[in-house]
């Protein structure tokens, strides 16, 4: 194996290890978390920044008609 393909393979492995796909909560995951948390219907999901942390801002309407905004950490899925 020559040096260029080896370096390319190693570079790809480092990129994957540095940013694993399973570390981020998807938009759909955030919607499902907010729905379970509130029992409401999801109106919108937007990526936002809250106190320097990447979060999903999920707007839901409850069965009683109350609109709530739920913040979900992009990395952990924790509601905050």
d(CA 6, CA 68): 51
Q: Which domains does the chain have, with CATH numbers?
A: 23-80 (3.10.450.40)
pLDDT of residue 55: 96
**Torsions phi, psi of 79, nearest 5?**
-85, 130
Whether the predicted pLDDT of 13 surpasses 60: no
On the question of pLDDT at 1 being above 90, the answer is no
- Residue 39's Cβ-count burial label (10 Å; 0-12, 13-18, 19+) is exposed
DSSP-assigned letter for residue 32 = H
pLDDT in tens, 26-80: 999 999 999 999 999 999 999 999 999 999 999 999 999 999 999 999 999 999 8
pLDDT at 2 over 80: no
d(CA 24, CA 77): 8
């Amino acid at each position: 194996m020559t040096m260029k393909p080896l370096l390319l393979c190693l570079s790809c492995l480092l990129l994957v290890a540095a940013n694993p796909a399973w570390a981020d909560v998807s938009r759909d995951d955030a919607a499902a978390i907010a729905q379970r948390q509130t029992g409401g219907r999801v109106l919108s999901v937007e990526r936002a920044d809250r106190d320097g942390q990447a979060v999903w801002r999920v707007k839901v309407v409850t069965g009683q008609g109350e609109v709530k905004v739920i913040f979900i950490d992009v990395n952990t899925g924790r509601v905050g």
